[in-house]
Amino acid sequence: MASLWEYANPLKFMRLTDRVLPWVSVGAAACLAVGLIWGFFFTPDDFRQGSTVKIIYIHVPAALMAINAWFMMLVASLIWLIRRHHVSALAAKAAAPVGVVMTLIALITGAIWGQPMWGTWWEFDPRLTSFLVLFLFYLGYMALWSAIEDADTAADLTAVLCMVGSVFAVLSRYAVNFWNQGLHQGASLSLDKEENVADVFYQPLLVSIAGFVLLFLALVLLRTRTEIRLRRASALMAREKLQ
């Protein structure tokens, strides 16, 4: 019985992802195409919000992935700290830029959506603010990776930062909720529209969420492969020095 940990071996990981990546990419493209085209052109306009509601097909999946990317980094960091699998550390490193772009997409589409809906691009609403804080966490994480030369040291330090950051991110989420209630009521973003949203909106939304998940997976696999190749290149150079 092959264990999952075998894929912690870079060679096995490369071999597996080499086969899997094309399928994931095609799946991502297909789901995104179906979900977005269906959502944009074949759903009726909302009776209150008009066609602006359709940005939901990008906004919601991106926001979901922004949080899940951080969660994936947390798990990968834990695996690195406990089991010292290098591929895991590199996967965490690879996920960060994807996560930060997802956060940006969520923030920007949110602003574009918010303008016609509540007449403002930006509101210090708990959700929006938490995303901004998450964005800052991503930036710090990536900056720390790039600032440290030794690969293992960088992996250790960023893993610890990811864990401490996660605790503070959750704490910030609660703090921000508290803070905003204290300042003003109302103007709350109700992203969890699923309950009110009729099936016509819900089904394409599910498809595009699946598309974003696959897109995230494809990008992370691709970037992890790149990181592994970079490590391989530096290992080759180091070996050359030995001879």
Interface contacts to other proteins, rule CB under 8 A: 9-11, 84, 86, 133, 136-137, 139-140, 143-144, 147-148, 150-153, 156-157, 160-161, 164-165, 168, 171-172, 174-176, 178-179, 182, 228, 231-232, 235-236, 238-239, 241-243
CA 124 to CA 183: how far, in whole Å? 10
Residue 228 neighbours by CB under 8 Å, 6+ apart: 10, 13, 14, 87, 90
Nearer to other proteins, 33 or 139 (CB): 139
In the complex, what is the shortest distance from the CB of residue 228 to other proteins, in angstroms, rounded to a whole number? Answer: 6
Helices and strands (DSSP H and E) totals, the chain? 6, 0
Closest contact distance (angstroms) between CB of 35 and other proteins is 33
**Shortest spacing between CB 99 and other proteins, in angstroms:** 14
Q: Quick one: 117 or 148, whose CB is closer to other proteins?
A: 148
- Residue closer to other proteins by CB (options 101, 136) is 136
Q: How many CB atoms lie within 10 A of CB 236?
A: 10
Closer to other proteins by CB, 18 or 152: give it.
152
Dihedral angle, C-alpha 69, 162, 192, 63, nearest 10 °:
-40
With contact defined as beta carbons under 8 Å apart, do 158 and 77 qualify? yes
What is the nearest approach in angstroms of other proteins to the Cβ of residue 160?
A: 6
CA distance 112 to 116: 8
CB 231 within 8 A of CB 16: no
Beta-carbon count within 10 A of 72 CB: 20
CB of 2 to other proteins, least distance (A): 17
Q: Whose Cβ is closer to other proteins: residue 14's or residue 197's?
A: 14
In the complex, least distance from residue 70 CB atom to other proteins, rounded to whole angstroms: 12
- Of the two residues 38 and 135, which places its CB atom closer to other proteins in the complex? 135
